[in-house]
Structure 1
């Protein structure tokens, strides 16, 4: 056979063929046996290095894939050539960030004490709120077993399935804290004000405020201004038409005075209650005893026109998705009202009379552990702000003003709250 035929076996090895390939050159004398042996050894070493590089690349890629698969906490994208030490550092950093974010979201649940009925809405919106058991509260926001560094596929942040939508000065803070004693409820301590003030930030921003929950647990929030904000019903409906809504209501006259009292505690120089409640009041009338017209545009008065606001909600949500809780009953019979709320939410009766201790000196119920002798936790060191003395004639005028709204509200809800 020819010399070309003798060279055919070399072409069966693409790697070796590639290594020997080169530009044409002038003929040279045949290599000596020692040079041929040295070239063969060099090629063998190069082949081994080439295979080793491929195996090392595959190993790094497999390690990265395994780490990414096992970690439930999102990590930044890492190139295939990143070493395992950098991957581990990224995971630890991500875990630290997640925990810090969770604590920040939960920070609103451990703020200043809050009055059961005279809850400070503005302070709540900044992250205020009081809980009766800080340890349990932390467990609630992260799941029954707390936050695990390894995460859990069953834990996630969900949009709320139930919302306490009102009303200001009705007792929403009390209800929220009572509900957070239930093991199947996770609730945001601060008021998100998403549907009235922060709607432009989008649902993902809203979802990110929610605590992590497991399957079967209920996510909740409370923002009392929702009930009186015109745009909110449609916005909540667009999020989920199945959302359950809770409204805590209170005698509208008492509620208005309480609202004014809170404002005056921040702004001592505001005008008198009477001058704000009535338009065209004359000095001789004392602000409203005989003259002047009740100013229904003043927020303290307007909020108590419950029936007017309810008409707007009923355009989007059927009666069975709205529950109205008595602020007065929440103090005199908290276990009874909580039984109604738990039934409405489809939860087992966990928060019962065993959770409440009525403090005769304070005049309102305090939360306690169902078992044990620990001291009851009473919400609000400023509970029971002293209301200003309002002329009896002014109070009577307000009661007459609210009477038709109250009666319509009783009819719409099927419940007589006994305010007249």
Structure 2
């Protein structure tokens, strides 16, 4: 073997080992650049599955912290919210703010927060809101969720007075399924707190539905009104520019979280970060979990099994159709305001 051949062999071997070193380091440090498609049920057998919301949020913050580097001389300060998730309850607001919090440039308040009263810079409420916010750096966005803000009439004007440049996100769900989910939770809470009899058979639910649809619009209960989206959206559109409002459909977040979160990135004007590497589809449960940022083990952290599984009442198809017809005019108006449709009325 001549000298040139030996030299070429050394060069090839050197590049080979350098490549291995790079892959090892990048696997541990550049977690967000990897890609894996949603896992199949066979692949799940090799995963460690943890159902714990506390550990899920810890995994989220681990990903967030690993991928954020504080700029030199930058200071973490408390500010008014830059982004508010204005609803709607029982549509996935918790999942939305949790998943958004993976992003290094999004800082969120973990618990729902209600603004009480007006927000003039001179009053105590204005200061109280700031005190309760997490601190953020100059390249981060402060986010809170408030499940009922879409329906509350006074909120758009108050939020505009607080921050006219705020970004607003609403996540909405097919009205009938959202209402049934809300009523299920309400009756279970009554069973727990007031010792009321739990409404568990279709006859009782049928009576409740019949009563609901007879109530005049101006006297609707909050549970029904939260499934009516057109009035709330119109109130916000009258005050805020259209490019300040993003509407997300609940099932789109449930089944295509990365696609939705990339849309959120564009809406908020922050750098691309979300990828399929952050999520694992749990086929046993039918929803996405968070992949724990660990290069050595395959661990997914999920919401606890009871979340979203409240033994919802069985309702006759006739009664479901009656509810859909009840919501249809408002839903059609909502689609017209939004400028796009969801597959809710079929």
| Shared fold (TM-score, shorter chain, > 0.5) | yes
One of 356, 361, 372 as aligned partner of 2:284: 361
**Match status 1:327 vs 2:235:** no
Note the 1:389-404 alignment, pairs <5 A.
Answer: 389-404=314-329
Contact 1:166/1:224 (<8 A) preserved: yes
Note the 1:130-279 alignment, pairs <5 A.
Answer: 130=54, 132-134=56-58, 137=61, 144=68, 154-195=75-116, 201-268=124-191, 269=197, 272-279=204-211
Unaligned regions of 5+ residues in structure 2, if any? 1-52, 192-196
Inter-CA distance 413–195: structure 2 relative to 1 (3 Å threshold): farther
Contact 2:119/2:126 (<8 A) preserved: no
Cα displacement (A) at 1:380? 3.0
Cα displacement (A) at 1:369? 3.8
Taking the aligned partners of 1:139 and 1:333, their CA distance within structure 2 comes to 20
Note the 1:299-310 alignment, pairs <5 A.
Answer: 299-310=222-233
Cα displacement (A) at 1:316? 1.0
Taking the aligned partners of 1:413 and 1:243, their CA distance within structure 2 comes to 19
Inter-CA distance 335–195: structure 2 relative to 1 (3 Å threshold): farther
Inter-CA distance 131–242: structure 2 relative to 1 (3 Å threshold): farther
Taking the aligned partners of 1:300 and 1:329, their CA distance within structure 2 comes to 23
Contact 1:366/1:379 (<8 A) preserved: yes
Contact 2:279/2:291 (<8 A) preserved: yes
Q: Which deviations, in whole Å up to 9, do the C-alpha atoms of 1:240-297 show, x marking residues without a partner? A: 1111000000000000000011112211326643333333xxxxxxxx8xxx726640
Inter-CA distance 130–238: structure 2 relative to 1 (3 Å threshold): farther
Taking the aligned partners of 1:186 and 1:350, their CA distance within structure 2 comes to 14
Cα displacement (A) at 1:196? 6.5
Structure 1 vs Structure 2 CA RMSD: 2.7
Contact 2:169/2:246 (<8 A) preserved: yes
**Match status 1:418 vs 2:343:** yes
**Match status 1:315 vs 2:247:** no
Contact 2:289/2:303 (<8 A) preserved: yes
Contact 2:117/2:125 (<8 A) preserved: no
Taking the aligned partners of 2:277 and 2:103, their CA distance within structure 1 comes to 13
Q: Which deviations, in whole Å up to 9, do the C-alpha atoms of 1:141-191 show, x marking residues without a partner? A: 9x9469xxxx96521111111110100101000000101110111100011
Inter-CA distance 131–301: structure 2 relative to 1 (3 Å threshold): farther
Taking the aligned partners of 2:205 and 2:324, their CA distance within structure 1 comes to 15
Give the structure with higher Rg (CA).
1
Inter-CA distance 371–130: structure 2 relative to 1 (3 Å threshold): closer
Taking the aligned partners of 2:165 and 2:315, their CA distance within structure 1 comes to 43
Task: Give the corresponding residue for 1:97.
Answer: none
**Match status 1:352 vs 2:298:** no
Contact 1:278/1:295 (<8 A) preserved: no
Task: Look up the SS of the partner of 2:150 in the other structure.
Answer: helix
Inter-CA distance 225–139: structure 2 relative to 1 (3 Å threshold): same
Contact 2:76/2:138 (<8 A) preserved: yes
Number of aligned residue pairs:
276
Task: Look up the SS of the partner of 1:366 in the other structure.
Answer: strand
Inter-CA distance 370–324: structure 2 relative to 1 (3 Å threshold): farther
Task: Look up the SS of the partner of 2:324 in the other structure.
Answer: helix
